[in-house]
Chains A and B, each alone.
Chain A
Amino acid sequence: MTNIEEVRGVTFNLQHYSIHDGPGIRTTVFLKGCPLRCVWCQNPESQDFKPVIFLNLERCTGCGTCVNACPEAAIQIIDGKSKTDRKLCKGHGQCAEVCPNEARSLMGKYMTAREVFDDVNADAIFYQNSGGGVTLSGGDPVAQPEFSRAILKLCHDAGIHTAIETSGFAKWDIFKGILEYTDLVLYDIKHMDSAKHKEYTGVPNEMILENAVRIRKELDLSMLGRLPIMPGYNDSPENMERTAQFIANDLGGGFKVHLLPYHRLGETKYARMEEPDKAVSITPPTEEHMAELVKIFESKGLETVVGG
């Protein structure tokens, strides 16, 4: 056994038969940890590195079994429902294990690269027939660069097509290590204006845009554009126009662009993390609006679809 098989990291879901994260039938490995903090985040459970507890209050009966199970004494029963002190919670998960009502679940699991690979490789026959493979997503695979690199290398060496879905916010030297074993990059572009980008995601966009160019120009890797469409934040015609221009000119075009309309899944997730106030209320874009945006990209000669 080589070292890279033993590299450990944290995942929060391994989704088989993923059909919207790259070509063919794929397995998407969702990794924990993200360098961005987008206000519209739809997977808030993925932001932190450590596992996090989801609490479904509808199922909680306030029985208190979890209170005794928690080694950090982070849980109390208040008004007939359990409540977690998120500052004390270390994400051990004992509360989820003992909860008789399945109100608590642990999002996040420590795994070795080998364990991830074995799970991915189980579907090899489906990849072969459909031209699929593995996609690392998250969170962001750049947040666990060693782990990501190890998984990608194991898959790559086994002949499995590899893709990553990333914000691109990483120092080039680190990023390059991951990209070495990557066949396809699903690249998120959230906003072209760096100040706005910082306002909405917590980080500026210069490094992101620069990395995108280097991936295309220096490494000549295949790319898929993945643009989250957040009404009121990044869907103005000007921003869309600039994004399309960037893809068509700076990145050389020639690859597909997916426009991903906002959906409301994230809102319930914040509630489960006992932080309902963090959820922003965004109205999902209409189909007509999406069709107009598609036209902007198509006018630059980019093949564009709504959804993954």
Chain B
Amino acid sequence: MSARMKRLLKSIEVEKYPLCIEKSRLITESFKRTEGEPMIMRRAKALANILDHIHIFIENDQMIVGNAASKPMGLEFDFYAGLWSKEEIEGLKEVGYVISDDEEKELLEMREYWKSYNPISRVGQMLDDRLWPFFQSGMVLPPWKDKEEGPGGGYAESGMGLGPGFYILTVDFQRLLQGGLNRIIEEAEEELKKLDLTDPDSMNRIAFLKAVIISQQAIIRFAERFANLADEMAAKESDPKRKEELERIAVTCRHIPADPPRTFYEAMQFFWLAFLMTTPSPTASIGRFDQYMYPFYKKDIENGTTTDEEVLELLQCLRIKDMHINRTSGKLARQKNAGMAKWHNMTIGGVIPETGEDATNELSYLVLDAVKLCPVPHHTVTVRVNENTPEDLMLKALEVVKTGIGMPAFVGDRSYIEYLLSEKVSLEDARDYALGGCIDATIVGKSRIASYGMFIISKIFEITMNNGLDPRMNIRMGPKTGEFESFATFDEFLDAFKKQLKYFMGLHAERNNIELQIFRDLYPDPVRSAWMYRGVQEGKALLERKFPFENAAVLNPVGLINVVDSLAAVKKVVFDDRKVGQKELFETLQSDWKGARGQEIRKLFLAAPKYGNNDDYVDSIARDIYHYYAKTATQFKTYIGGTHKPTGVSISAQWPGGALTGATPDGRYAGDCLADGTVSAMRGMDTHGPTAVILSASKIDQVPFQASLMNMKFHPSSLKTTDDLRKLSFLIRTYFSRNGKHIQFNVVNKETLVNAQKEPEKHKDLIVRIAGYSAYFVQLGEPMQNEIIGRTEHEEAA
């Protein structure tokens, strides 16, 4: 690691993260001036106010500029996901954030203004007797406290765009780099000239196009501010090398992003400023970086104007920049995204859209080298694997995995492309997919997810066992599908569960449609809308138009494997072997495995077949339930004209979701964490090694899912030599040849994790994989730490 990188790494270590209000202040100021104007115009003007006035700075040693908050490593409060209360701010202060008293006071004053734009209370107004218990229950996390405040707290995030976050999309960086923002402005002016005022949409169209122009011009001015600052700093700089770097920054920021970059360096700077505008969003996707950056790289290398060493340093600078984009939220929402969760996912590898040939190039390798040299949790990297992916790339990727950083993740082109084709996406677009969020398929510029819940299926199982009642709140939530004791056969019980599942998927879909429409009305984003496929020509914001791959809302199950294991255990112990009666099981679960025979009964249920061991008894249930889930999800429409998509990532929702679920027949205690991922086995239940897990997961038809997450943990002794890595590569390839979608690894021994829990101060740099993102282990809550420690570690015996 270079001396520069060492200093930069040091610069992102902070004792406490500063909470900032400058951005909120600038938005509020602007909003007060623009009352009555179309929302998209107000938002564009607010953005311009931010970009023209927010405090900017250039960090020492950095070669890429563009700060993400008004203070280094800061987070700007946001109101788009709910209001911040005094109590919630106090909660943040307790867990390592800092804010001055004056600023806190000012923020709470602004809260009054934002009440009328509060999306939460707007959702709250829509909640009738069916939906309100559904929201309260936390079946879609987090549980709501009341109709005005929702779960409590909003977001505080870094990033210079307007959001809202949690949209999963990949803007068309390639097109931006080719034409610069001036092309977007020209296109908008062109469209304004062509305007047909007899079109009933024309007034909206004018507002949209003008908003696009205002926002793009503001971004160009923002870059100029950095050019001016760099000039000022260069004039004072005594170190000739740094002076030269600052001068280069000034020249670059006067050229881009208005015009297309001329060099790889300028392209990096362009990318970062553009990316900054797609944040705050923890799910802003970087897209196929090794593809769209390659022409700039190739040209510079051929001209001899740059070297791999320089490129590598810039790629590391980018990683450091991304560590400046942080995020937190209210207490309940924090649990489901433990440890500064974000998914700035960079996709490498894959195939060339036009020919289907492998797309790996020199940059793919350099990106991996940069991760190894600069081992910070963000940005994350995902390798698209196809049958022609070079083994060298696999080995290099696994060399990085071996360091224990939890990345890159691996995804199988075969399963993703087949899925997209089944969604009527064109072959070229399907081949050009990039990962968004954890590992969801996005088509560059042509899809966006805007409603994504953590759907706790184990609760639905519990409600089925209770004939439609939620035992935690003692409220009727679902239809009456029969008392558990009344089922004569396993199939009757299974049918009851499916009925409940379908019912709650319907409620979830209603929730999503409400959320989507409120977001459409309150938060049109002129920037990201313009940067999508035909964004300017369509003349509509993200949630007002239909996209070629229309995936505005998803249904994302958490704890489905616990349900599968529970169903199998009930089938085996109660209906097949008749060792425990229905009444006795019901009471034992209610007592959380206590009572006279409690432990004896739990042993029987634990001994029943478990998913992840290549046992058809339970794997066939998994196949059936996942199939039913995927098929049912697509029956629910969105107002935009598409259907819901089944997907599967759990983030860290297995922990708060488990906390809301009572004891389950898979042997789990009430409140215990659920299984992680979507097709991972429940921790500790996969006792036949990783190949059995892969075989079980391959029996589930994963193709109809937009994502299906698999975590595996390996002991470092399994990844010592190149030969070991080669074998792991075979394991991955075999999984993908059987339509597996995704796999990622934690490589760290239990002892280290346990020690880190005991002595966090000594393990500040220990990074683990959660679900589609890596995080510092010591920043996770204790239950989440325990969950990771408990995941089955694949290790060889003597």
Contacts and interface: CB of A to CB of B under 8 A. Distances in A.
Residue among A17, A25, A126 with max Cβ neighbours from chain B (10 Å): A17
Interface string A10-34: 0001111111100011010010000
Contact of A15 (B689, B695, B726, B731): B689
Residue among A19, A20, A30, A130 with max Cβ neighbours from chain B (10 Å): A19
Interface in B583-636: 599-600, 603, 614
A99 B134 CA distance: 41
Contacts, number: 67
B730 A100 contact: no
Residue among A25, A98, A100, A265 with max Cβ neighbours from chain B (10 Å): A25
B153 interface: no
Contacts of A24: 727, 730
Interface residues of B, number: 28
| Contact residues of B: prevailing secondary structure | helix
A42 B600 contact: no
A35 interface: no
B798 A17 contact: no
A16 B688 contact: yes
A19 B798 contact: no
Given A25-B727, A266-B798, A17 B734 contact: no
B733 A122 contact: no
A13 B718 contact: no
Interface string B769-798: 000000000000000000000000010111
Interface residues of A, number: 28
B720 A307 contact: yes
Contacts of B733: 129
B692 interface: yes
Contacts of A27: 691
B724 interface: yes
A201 interface: no
Given A19-B727, A307-B720, A122 B695 contact: yes
A174 interface: no
Contacts of B691: 16-17, 25, 27, 122-123, 126
B692 A122 contact: yes
B720 A16 contact: no
B480 to A, nearest CB: 37
B704 interface: no
A13 B734 contact: no
A100 B600 contact: yes
A169 B694 CA distance: 38
Contacts of A15: 689, 796-797
A91 B22 CA distance: 72
A109 interface: no
A223 B794 CA distance: 27
Interface in A115-154: 122-123, 125-126, 129-130, 132
A16 B796 CA distance: 9
Contacts of B119: none
A60 B798 CA distance: 25
B690 interface: yes
B385 to A, nearest CB: 13
Interface in B699-737: 718, 720-721, 723-724, 726-727, 730-731, 733-734, 737
Contacts of A129: 730, 733-734, 737
Contacts of B796: 15, 18-20
B734 A126 contact: yes
A133 B724 CA distance: 15
Nearest to B730: A130
A263 B797 CA distance: 11
B614 A122 contact: yes
Given A16-B692, A305-B721, 16 more contacts: A16-B688, A17-B727, A19-B796, A20-B796, A25-B691, A25-B731, A27-B691, A43-B798, A122-B691, A122-B692, A122-B695, A123-B691, A125-B734, A129-B730, A130-B731, A266-B798
Interface of A: 13-20, 24-25, 27, 30, 42-43, 98, 100, 122-123, 125-126, 129-130, 132, 263, 265-266, 305, 307
19 contacts: A15-B796, A15-B797, A17-B690, A19-B723, A20-B724, A20-B796, A24-B730, A25-B727, A25-B731, A43-B798, A98-B600, A100-B599, A100-B600, A122-B614, A122-B691, A126-B691, A129-B737, A265-B797, A266-B798
